[in-house]
Amino acid sequence: MEAAANPDRAILVAQAGATIAKGSKSFAAASKLFDPVTRERAWLLYAWCRACDDIADAQELGHDQQKVTDPAERIARIRNCTAMALAGKPTGDPAFDGLAIVVDETGMPRRFIDDHIAGFALDADEWRPRSTDDLLRYCYHVAGVVGCMMAVVMGVAPDDDATLDRACDLGLAFQLANIARDIEEDDRSGRCYLPEEWLVEMDFPPGQHMKPPFRKRLTVLARRLATMAGEFEESARFGTPALSYRSAWAVLAAADIYGGIARKVAAAGDHAWDHRVTTTKAEKLAAIARAGAQAAGRARLYPPTARDAELWTRPRG
């Protein structure tokens, strides 16, 4: 679908572009590779995701998180504003109004939007994963389904399950990398996304996984997360032949940039949480260059291949 030309849309796109520039340098860099219309829709979708996250965690652009004393009310606000926007009613919040444009222009399934909000509700309920399956289901709600939404933004049909599964894989890879990188930061916020079964397996005393005497055990689990992230990242690459060249370029660049975070965490070992792991500007540029070549040869590099049946698969709506 072509983007509508109207002043309100242009204003919302500009605001969303400013949001992604401040909120995620990695995604902002990758988004520049999209064609103009796809880029604008990606920005609008990002702005809604970012706003939901900030409302849920009482933070601004992912930073300065505050203690939340009214989690249920915050989730209700997210749901109500989203419902208003999708009903064509102005919300007074450009992030939610922008989501309505994305849905109107792409035919985005409502189930994807609801699935993403369900991820914020899990955090609001102070949910913790017991098993690997629990962990991956959480990763689906907070990131895998965003991969599905981004695929629709890039022109993938909402019923193209094979390509959407690959898109979901990339979101799962991103979130697993995030969890590995942010174990210490999450602990300071009273959160832990390491499955209870993993903690028991490594014989951590309750609530002690960040204590210095247990750092080597924690490193084992962080490397497990990084390995899982790498498996989902590799699977996601096989979905890129279904995309246009520029969309494939952006996806492969993002995969390399975020995959680099997981790889750095694994390589840092016991020192992975001394400083927050990031990718440098030079590393981002190198990833973008590699991705351009990979996108050009994606049909050869990533030929039609059945997705690994052993990989966790997203729920069907």
Residue 100 has pLDDT above 70, yes or no: yes
- Does residue 82 contact residue 96 with C-beta atoms inside 8 Å? yes
Indicate the SS3 state at residue 63.
Answer: strand
Q: Provide the pLDDT confidence category of residue 248 given band limits of 50, 70 and 90.
A: very high
Mean pLDDT of 276-293: 93
Tell me the pLDDT of the chain averaged across its residues: 92
**In CATH, which of 1.10.630.10, 3.30.420.10, 1.10.600.10, 3.40.50.300 is domain 128-317?**
1.10.600.10
> How open is the CA angle 31-37-41, to the nearest 5 degrees?
65
Taking the CB of residue 11, how many other CB atoms lie within 10 A of it?
Answer: 13
Taking the CB of residue 63, how many other CB atoms lie within 10 A of it?
Answer: 10
More confident residue, 206 or 145: 145
- Does residue 77 contact residue 55 with C-beta atoms inside 8 Å? yes
- Does residue 82 contact residue 117 with C-beta atoms inside 8 Å? yes
Q: pLDDT per residue over 64-98, tens digit each?
A: 566 667 889 999 999 999 999 999 999 999 999 99
Q: Which pLDDT score, from 0 to 100, does residue 227 have?
A: 97
Mean pLDDT of 241-255: 96
| Alpha-carbon gap, residue 243 to 125, rounded angstroms | 37
Strand-pairing partners, residue 63, are 60
The full DSSP string for 5-17 is --HHHHHHHHHHH
Share of the chain above pLDDT 90, in %: 78
- The full set of domain ranges for the chain reads 1-107, 128-317
Mean pLDDT of 261-278: 93
Residue 26 has pLDDT above 80, yes or no: no
Q: Is the dihedral of CA 180, 260, 234, 40 positive or negative?
A: positive
Q: pLDDT per residue over 113-139, tens digit each?
A: 999 999 999 988 889 999 999 999 999
Would you tell me the crossing angle of helices 281-296 and 245-268 to the nearest 10 degrees? 130
Buried b (16+ CB within 10 A) or exposed e, 133-167: ebbbbbbbbbbbbbbbbbbbbbbbebebeebbbbb
Tell me the pTM. 0.92
